[in-house]
Amino acid sequence: MLGRLPVDEQVETLRATLARNEILVELLGRAAKLDLPGWYLTAGCVIQTVWNVVTGRPPAEGIKDYDLFYFDDTDLGWDAENEVIQTGERAFADLPALVEIRNEARVHLWYEDHFGVPCTPYTSTEAAIDSFAATTCCLGIRLENDDKWRVYAPHGLADVFNLVVRPNPVLAPRGVYESKTRRWREQWPGLTILPWP
């Protein structure tokens, strides 16, 4: 069982599992060429690829979008972020995927209007990943200069492989967690969704 792998084997198994999603692999390669500071493919596209493989589904099935986060606090204006978004749209235009590119240095500027609670400015992309509504989603991957995969997983990988969704009540409101988990359970009915504390 994948969730019972020794820690030293989990990252390699994650890589092998994610490599089955050809869209994700192609996005990783193209994203690396954009050379964005502190970038990761993260959240749904990563964990949902694992869920699909573990449950015997096509690796890219049901993935709504691919989140590409980066961190650039040298210019917090919308124009700078939009320029990166437009560059990404051109880079990924021929792929059958919606790629959501966001500068995590700017999240505090719009988060409260969108989710109803204030967000302290992040200090890195990793800090943003740490605040996802579910610990299971706190997972990011990227390619380093030598094509080595960098995996950021502050809560480990066991829950991801075991189809367990665990709440992370550090920022996102309960409603965000419950809305996401309702949608996920429809797509992946075998998930174990732990209640909000």
| Residue 99: strand, helix, or coil | strand
Residues facing 66 on adjacent strands: 99
First to last CA, the chain: 28
DSSP H helices in 131-173: 158-161
Q: pLDDT, tens digit, for every residue of 146-172? A: 778 999 999 999 999 999 999 999 999
Q: pLDDT, tens digit, for every residue of 94-107? A: 999 999 999 999 99
Q: pLDDT, tens digit, for every residue of 60-77? A: 999 999 999 999 999 999
Could you tell me if 136 and 159 are in contact, meaning their C-beta atoms sit under 8 angstroms apart?
A: yes
Crossing angle of helices 22-34 and 78-92, in 10° steps, is: 130
Q: Which residues contact 129 (CB under 8 A, 6 or more apart)?
A: 40, 42, 43, 69, 138, 139, 140, 152, 154
The pLDDT assigned to 14 comes to 94
DSSP β-ladder status, 140-143 and 40-42: antiparallel
The pLDDT assigned to 3 comes to 56
Is the pLDDT score of 33 beyond 60?
Answer: yes
The pLDDT assigned to 4 comes to 66
